[in-house]
Homo-oligomer: A and B are copies of this chain.
Amino acid sequence: MTLQKLLSIELPIIQAPLAGVQGSSLAIAVCNAGGLGSLPCAMLSLETLQSELNAIKAGTSKPYNVNFFCHTTPAPDAAREAAWRQALAPYYAEFGIDADSIPTGPGRNPFSHEAADVLEAFKPPVVSFHFGLPTADLMQRVRSWGSKILSSATTVAEARWLEANGVDAIIAQGLEAGGHRGMFLTKDLNSQVGTFALLPQIVQAVKVPVIAAGGIADANGVAAAMRLGAAGVQIGTAYMLCPEATTSALHRTALQNCTVGATAHITALTNLFTGRPARGMVNRVMQELGSISAKAPEFPLATSALAPLRSAAEKLGRTDFTPLWSGQNVNGCKAIPAAELTLALAGTCQVISNL
């Protein structure tokens, strides 16, 4: 079955959920263009989740995707938290921040029955997960609404696990991809490989449709992914300059400077911002503390300690502590409406489907 038929969409283009830099507007625009727009829900309160879903229902009659994280929130570790804040102490001093006043908290919530209660009224056509899958009872609830279920695999073993646990399609997340690595069966960063290596190996290993993600930035990239066996693609970075995205001005400028070659586009996997490895543009804190630090609290507990530094620096126009999520390929970033971008990305799908 084609991905289009499985998800009832016209184009095999999924707009990647981009937590923190988009809401319903971007998703609606992509849906109305014939792709699958996604609403990132991991950072939304239940109230906002409800209002964003209302906005999507009002904005489009096409299928849409809601994306959730499904990590297990770890128990707070006071000693580790204290050590981390100690490592950040020079920064707190520099920006005049009282470290004791910083609230702790997870920052990102896993999919839950409370979230499912909100979703139930909407019966979203597609639900995608990151970091594996939720518990069997939650899976059953989602399935009962007729929602198609997607999740990300970063290794062949994860792809096989997802298939065995009942997903309808698998997102093969190559190392080029921006944002959080979806890895959930391994913590070994060496297991994470580029799209050219990952995609065909997952296609060979599973029977469900495979959606390629990572480094795909234009119609040729889409066509190339399909030559490697993808049934469709998930694209995030290219959408970040669209007017419908809520990407901050500082983040937009950073991306734009790379696309015009004013600065080199250097990204790295970093766990400093949340506790899990995620790809973003290298900035001051990543340079000074190292992109991956064993001291950072476990996901998502690392989020709170950097938050006030980010705010303080951004007020000065600096991205020293801002997670500048981005994939390795910014070639496709264009400040054009998301509908136009979606159609451009799908440009040669017709040619390929005739091969």
Q: Is the CB of A197 within 8 A of B328?
A: yes
Number of copies: 2
Contact of A331 with B by CB under 8 A:
yes
Cross-chain contact A328 with B194 (CB below 8 angstroms): yes
A204 to B220, CA, bound (A): 12
Interface core residue of A204, A229, A266, A268 (most chain B CB under 10 Å): A266
CB atoms of B328 and A193 under 8 A apart: yes
B329 touches A197 (CB 8 A): yes
- Interface residue? A215 (CB, 8 A): yes
Report, as a range, how many residues of chain A touch the other chain: 35 or more
Nearest B residue (CB) for A351: B355
A176 beta carbon closer than 8 Å to chain B: yes
B220 lies within 8 A of A227 (CB) = yes
Task: Kindly supply a per-residue 1/0 record for chain A positions 212-233, scoring 1 wherever the CB is within 8 Å of any chain B CB and 0 otherwise.
Answer: 0011111011011101110000
The residue in A193, A216, A224 that gathers the most chain B C-beta atoms within 10 A of its C-beta is: A224
Q: Which residues of B contact A193 (CB under 8 A)?
A: 176, 215, 267, 328-329
Q: Which residues of A contact B (CB under 8 A)?
A: 155-157, 174-176, 188, 190-191, 193-198, 200-201, 204, 214-218, 220-221, 223-225, 227-229, 261, 264, 266-268, 282, 291, 327-329, 331, 351, 355
16 additional A-B pairs beyond A157-B264, A190-B266, A196-B221, beta carbons within 8 Å, are A155-B264, A190-B267, A190-B282, A190-B291, A193-B267, A193-B329, A194-B194, A194-B195, A195-B215, A196-B329, A197-B217, A197-B327, A200-B221, A200-B329, A224-B228, A227-B227
List of 9 A-B pairs having minimum Cβ-Cβ separation, nearest first: A196-B215, A194-B194, A197-B329, A197-B328, A224-B224, A224-B227, A193-B328, A197-B215, A176-B194
